[in-house]
Amino acid sequence: MNPSEESIHEKVREGYAAIAEAETSCCGGASCCGSSPEVARELAVKLGYDPKILKTLPEGTNLGLSCGNPQAIAALQSGETVLDLGSGAGFDVFLAAQAVGPTGMVVGVDMTPQMLTKARRNAVAFTERTGLSNVDFRLGEIEHLPVPDGSVDVVISNCVLNLSPDKAQVWREIARVLKSGGRVAISDLALKQPLPAGVFELAEALVGCVAGAVLVDEIHADAEAAGLAEVVIELKHGYIAVMENLQDPLYRQILELLPPGHKLSDYIVSADVSARRAAHGRPSGFDAPKSIQDLSIRVASPSCGPSGCC
């Protein structure tokens, strides 16, 4: 990883560590830089999450980091193995765990130790509430996933890929870990046109999933170049409308940097991305990963440290 890419990782890691430790919004409203529990729940419901299912989640799991609902397009089935990229405090992991049931498994990968610690504590509460112990949180970067080749039925992610400084590598990793015929269900922010240069000077914009977003066509090209097929991107304009209506502070800051008369929705859109790994053969662009220790732990105790070695 070059210095510029490492700098982006550190900025994101620091921002999300602050969210995990503060347990409150880093910007006061509802965006993928965090929100209060009440606003986080309101946002999740607006994004299509079932309010009844949300009640099963441990307190502090929903940090308001969503910009879509990948599970709405994932069609998860009992017994499947699911991988969540950038799993945070476990929001989508715990929901997916209920969908795949006790014979399934959901692995969450996050590069922020503080988030991992929070997720593992939440996992204990999740097991107490549901009786399920089918979740596993691992420390790692989404560009180098701590997951074996061809071991996952479904890859999900919620507003995380845009944070990566090497999105093409992330897509190659997604293709690598998917089983033959495995599928992708990702919600992310995308650009309809390039953002003004001033937006990239806002550190909050990067942590808030905005400055790292790329054009819709680039997402499609990266997924296909990695060897994935049936790539479909559906644009969801409602998320940005919610952000504008909730007067999110980060989005107000960005609005000030846009040309007169322009709205945030002129540039940014939430996108649902679905794809599938071809039923036969190795994905094109396959890049065998570096040797990574398997950090598999079904449910860690609250005393587990952030290193993943409980």
What is the per-residue pLDDT across 209-249, written as a single tens digit (0 to 9) for each?
787 889 999 999 999 999 999 999 999 887 777 766 666 67
Residue 168 has pLDDT above 90, yes or no: yes
Q: What pLDDT does residue 246 have?
A: 62
Q: Per mean pLDDT, which of 65-79, 162-176, 250-264 is the most reliable?
A: 162-176
Question: pLDDT-derived band of residue 2, with 50, 70 and 90 as boundaries?
Answer: low
List the structure tokens of 85.
Answer: 């990229």
Predicted TM-score (pTM) of the model is 0.84
For residues 162 and 207, give the distance between their C-alpha atoms in angstroms, rounded to a whole number.
10
Query: Mean pLDDT, to the nearest integer, of 57-66?
Result: 86
Phi, psi of 196 (to 5 degrees): -60, 150
Q: List Cβ<8 Å contacts ≥24 apart for 243-249.
A: 243/29, 243/30, 243/31, 246/29, 246/30, 246/39, 246/43, 247/29, 248/27, 248/28, 248/29, 248/30, 248/31, 249/27, 249/28, 249/29
Could you identify the residue written with the tokens 């989508």?
Answer: 92
Q: Are 113 and 180 in contact (CB under 8 A)?
A: no
* Residue of 217, 222, 219 whose CA lies nearest to 283: 222
Q: Are 95 and 57 in contact (CB under 8 A)?
A: yes
For residues 283 and 3, give the distance between their C-alpha atoms in angstroms, rounded to a whole number.
29
Range with the poorest average pLDDT among 13-17, 148-152, 169-173: 13-17
151 against 42, higher pLDDT: 151
Query: Mean pLDDT, to the nearest integer, of 176-191?
Result: 96
Beta-bridge mates of residue 137: 108
Residue 104 has pLDDT above 80, yes or no: yes
In the 3-class helix/strand/coil scheme, how is 203-223 assigned residue by residue?
HHHHHCCCCCCCEHHHHHHHH
What's the mean pLDDT when you consider all of the chain? 82
Question: pLDDT-derived band of residue 170, with 50, 70 and 90 as boundaries?
Answer: very high
For residues 152 and 237, give the distance between their C-alpha atoms in angstroms, rounded to a whole number.
30
Topology at the third CATH level for domain 3-277 = Rossmann fold (3.40.50)
Q: What pLDDT does residue 77 have?
A: 97
